[in-house]
Each structure stands twice: as structure tokens, then as C-alpha cells.
Amino acid sequence: MKALFGGVLYCFSLLVQVHGTNFRFYGYEPQRISPAIRYTRPVLRPELPLGTQAAQNAISATVAQVHVNNYRFYGHHYQLPQKISPRVWHPRPVIRPEQPVSTQSNNSTTSTDTGRQCKSRPLDLVLIIDSSRSVRPGEFEKVKIFISDMIDTLDIGQYATRVAVINYASTVKIEFHLKTYFNKVDMKQAVSRIEPLSTGTMSGLAIRTAMNEAYTEKAGARPPSQNISKVAVIVTDGRPQDKVQEVSAQARASGIEIYAIGVDRADMQSLRLMASTPLDEHVFYVETYGVIEKFTSKFRKTLCGKDICSLGTHGCEHICVSTTDSYYCKCQDGYILNEDKKTCSKEVKPVVVVDPCKCESLVQFQRTVQSAIQSLASRLEEMTKKVQQYEHRLRHF
């Protein structure tokens, strides 16, 4: 029996050698079996959480690379897309502090914008901010936002409003002068870079620095002849550690209008000593730095005033020029301002009329001079002839 079974195996091995792996056995031809497929584990990026669409896309992309987009799996045929587009990540938009944020309610729109820019009353504006140790970093940031909002409401420019910022604690630092920036973008960037000094509260020293250094023509203040208002706004949350009454009086006497804003622990008596009169229009108080921005619209109305020229009610025929509280009219070249100080007339150059008497005298004088010259010429000619005669006689003597 063993010999018979061994003979069958021997014959089967001969058939395999002759026919290879493709042969018929009792009329049945089995399909060729493909080699086993090894699937690699997909590698997910750490920022893609499992179960998200991005993770599924990553797995599909890995399978497509292994099977070249066309493969069989457990007897089913799958066709993957030829190209899988990468997921686009959109960063969250950041709203800058200077951009107004609008909220809609029903059909109405409410905006935190502080109002339109004021185009009148050019100023030399100095902002004096307290950054002593009592002002927390978050509170100081709110002060800088308040300053940026004020800048947004003003008409900034070399011939419009100029702004300087003074930072003070126990020491005083002029962050930038009136002549440093004439556009809002650079000015607000400089404000964002201001760092607190975090020491004492020398408010009197800060006001003296503004008067003696910031409001000078060298630092960018305009001369008195231009009649530009000088305005200082001081923001503080404490009691001054130096005397403010005398130096504030000197500053006001020099023509500086002072507004005083007190926050939280500010001493009201000191604010009243620093501010200009009337006090109810120049002294303000808020409980926290979180609501200081409500003064933006207040200062806009106070500092801007009315631009009479832009209102069109001035009556100037040619040119209207705005001043601090009023206006005046000018004429174009070749015209002069009439007595009504509004209308213009063509400039007429006066005609010079020559006195006829003076003309006749001049002609007579010219004739007299001409006659004298002719007489002298005649006498000179006679003398020349006589000299020639004398010379002729001498040669023949």
C-alpha cells in the first residue's frame, strides 16, 4: 500500500515539472492566487484628531499610495479618486482694536465707532499718561486703546492736529514729539509699543515737562502767530507725590488748556488743581479703566468744534480759512478783498501820470546841455586849427 501511494506522488511531481502550476485536474482549472497584500499603517499628523475628515483623507491617501488607486480587497473592487486635494486651513481673523465692531439687532446696526473725524480746529495735543505701579498691565493696555481711539477721531497731519505722548511715573519719558508722526498708522503703532514705567506718581513733573519740552517749536509746537490751540490731557489713577498747583497754573498761564481724567483711586482735589476752568468741563472721573473709552466721543465733541468753512455758511467769495473759533476770507491772486471782507474785486494797477511841467523843464534842460556841448566842441575845433597853423609856421621858419 505504501509503495502504491509513493508511486502516485511520484507521478504527480512529474506532472508539475512538465506542466508547471497551470494544469487541469479532472476538468477543473483553479484561478491563480495573488500574493498577500501588506497594508502599511497610515501616519497621521499630530494636529489631525482621529475621527475628523482630515484624518480620513490622510488614511485614504496612504491606501491609495499602496494600491495605486486600483486594488481588490476581499473580493470587492474599489476605485479611489486620482488626486486628493489637501485640506485648506483658514486662520481665524483678528480684529484690530482700531476697527469698529458692529453688532446687528433686527434691522438696525449699532457700531462702537466713536464718530467721524473732525476736520476743524487744528490742535497741538499732548497726552500725559500715568504708568505708575498702581496701574496694572491690563489697565495700561486699556489706556493705550483709549489713546488710539482718540487719534482715530482727529484730523492728524502736519497742518492739522499734531499729537505727542508723555509717559510718567517717578520719571518722565516723552514717547514721541509733536513733530514725530503726521499719520495715524505710524502714530498708533508707536502707542502700542509704549511700556509702563511702574514706579511713583510725579504728575507735577509730567506737566512741567510738557510745558518746557513738548510745547516748544523745536519739538514741533507751532508758533503763537498761527493761533493753534494747545491742549493737554492727563490720565491718572492716584494721588500726585509732588506739588501740582503751581506748575499747573504756570502751564495754563502759558496758554495750555488742561483736561484731567481720574480713574479709580484718583484724588479729585488734585484733578481740580491741575485742570483748566470751568472745572465741570475739564475734570472727569471713571470707576475703572474698563470704561475709560466712553470719554472718546466726549473729547471728540470738545476738541473738534465746528468747521464753519466746511458748513458752507461763511459767505466767502473765493477762499475761506478756518481759525480756532472763527474764520476769515481770502482772495485769489490778482484780486483784492473788498471792504465787506467777503467779496473780491479785480486788482487794478494805478496809472502813473507825468506832470507836463516837469516834462517841459526836462526838455529845456536837455536843450541847454546840448547847446553847451556844441559850443565847447566849436571852440575846441577853433583851437585845434590855430595849433596846426602855429606848427606849420614853425616848420618853415
DSSP code, position 135: S
Q: What's the pLDDT at 57?
A: 53
Q: What is the pLDDT of residue 364?
A: 80
Quote the pLDDT of residue 105. Answer: 32
pLDDT value, residue 199: 87
38-71: per-residue pLDDT in tens?
Answer: 555 554 444 444 444 554 554 444 444 444 444 4
Residue with more model confidence, 82 or 272? 272
- Per-residue pLDDT of 293-338, as tens digits, reads 777 777 776 666 556 676 666 788 888 877 656 778 889 988 989 9
Confidence band, pLDDT 50/70/90 cuts, at residue 5 = low
In contact, 230 and 124? CB cutoff 8 Å = yes
Residue the block writes with cell 489713577: 237
Residue ranges per structural domain of the chain: 123-305, 309-346
Cell numbers for 328, please give them. 476769515
- For 203-234, the pLDDT digits (tens) are 999 999 999 999 999 999 999 988 899 999 99
Query: Is residue 292 exposed (0-12), middle (13-18) or buried (19+ Cβ within 10 Å)?
Result: buried
Cα gap 140→142, rounded to integer Å: 5
Q: Which residues contact 268 (CB under 8 A, 6 or more apart)?
A: 262, 283, 285
Which of the four pLDDT bands, split at 50, 70 and 90, describes residue 202? very high
Mean predicted confidence (pLDDT) in 269-280: 93
pLDDT of residue 140: 92
Taking the C-alpha atoms of residue 233 and residue 274, their distance in angstroms, rounded to an integer, is 10
For 128, the enclosing helix (H) or strand (E) is: strand 123-130
The CATH code for residues 123-305 is 3.40.50.410
Q: Write down the CATH number for the domain with range 309-346.
A: 2.10.25.10
Q: By the 8 A CB rule, do 296 and 146 touch? A: yes
Residue 238, exposed/middle/buried by CB under 10 A (0-12, 13-18, 19+)? buried
**What is the average pLDDT score of the chain?**
75
256-263 and 327-330 as β-strands: parallel, antiparallel, unpaired?
unpaired
Sheet strand arrangement including 123-130: 172-176, 162-168, 123-130, 229-236, 256-263, 283-286
